[in-house]
Each structure stands twice: as structure tokens, then as C-alpha cells.
Amino acid sequence: MKAKTMRRVYLREAAAALVLARLAVRFVAPARIFAWADRPPRRLCRFATDEARWISWAVEDLGMRPWINAPALPRALAAHAMLRRRGIASRLCLGVACNGGAFATHAWVEIGQDKVVGGAAADGFCRLAAYGGAC
């Protein structure tokens, strides 16, 4: 496939995943969301590093646009779902930081030791929970 076609495919899937993730965060109980996120993928594909980069790019690119304006948790859920769909084992992480007496929360996705989505802002956060089966 051409690069232009690949961009379109991943951007469309990321848009649908972000919308569904935002709806899930708003209307589904957190226990059900995190139980889903904790399940391992049905199959494993260990050699899909290009797909992980495309997914990271698409979710981060669309998540910053003003018409979607997705916070960290819907971005992480969308990326985790897209990675699981392709058989890439990933870990959804939730963290907290204290900034001058106020708490801040963040969510990011890891594959192994690499932070794929939300990693740039995750450095100052202490991990509270991790869901999923990244090896």
C-alpha cells in the first residue's frame, strides 16, 4: 500500500476508535473498561513494529485536533484497542502526579519498555495501575 493510503486507513480507524473511547469513558463503568483492557489479545504478532508506529502517529495526531480534543485516557484506550486488534501486546498505564498541592492524572500505552502513546507527558507521573499483557 502507498504511504498516502496507509495514512488515510490509520486516521479513519483512529477517528472511530477515539470517538468510541470517548463514549466509553463517559457512559461505561470504569470497572468494565479496565476489565476489557486487562484481557490479552487473541493472537500475538511480534513483528508489527511499523503498525505500532502508524497507530501511535494516528492517535496522537487526531487526539490533538480541536474537533476531537481527546484527553489522555480516550487516546490510550483507542491506541490499546487498535494494537490489540492487530495482535500487538500492549499495556495501558494510569498514573498520578502532585503539582503544587493539586493532583494530575495521565494515561499512556506501553509496548515492552517503550511508551507508544502519551509517553512524552508520562515522565513526571507515578504509575498507579497497568492493564494488559505487554511482554
Helix or strand (DSSP H, E) at 117: strand 114-117
Cα 96 from Cα 15, distance rounded (Å): 27
Cα 6 from Cα 89, distance rounded (Å): 22
pLDDT, one tens digit per residue, over 2-18 is 878 888 999 999 999 99
Region 55-72: mean pLDDT is 87
Among residues 102, 92, 83, 101, which one has the least CA distance to residue 122? Answer: 92
Residue 104 bridge partners (DSSP): 97
Cα separation of the two ends of the chain: 29
User: pLDDT band at residue 47, thresholds of 50, 70 and 90?
Assistant: low
Q: Which residue has the higher pLDDT, 23 or 41?
A: 23
What residues make up the domain containing 39?
Answer: 3-131
Q: How many domains are contained in the chain?
A: 1
The reported pLDDT for the residue numbered 135 is 47
Cα 17 from Cα 19, distance rounded (Å): 6
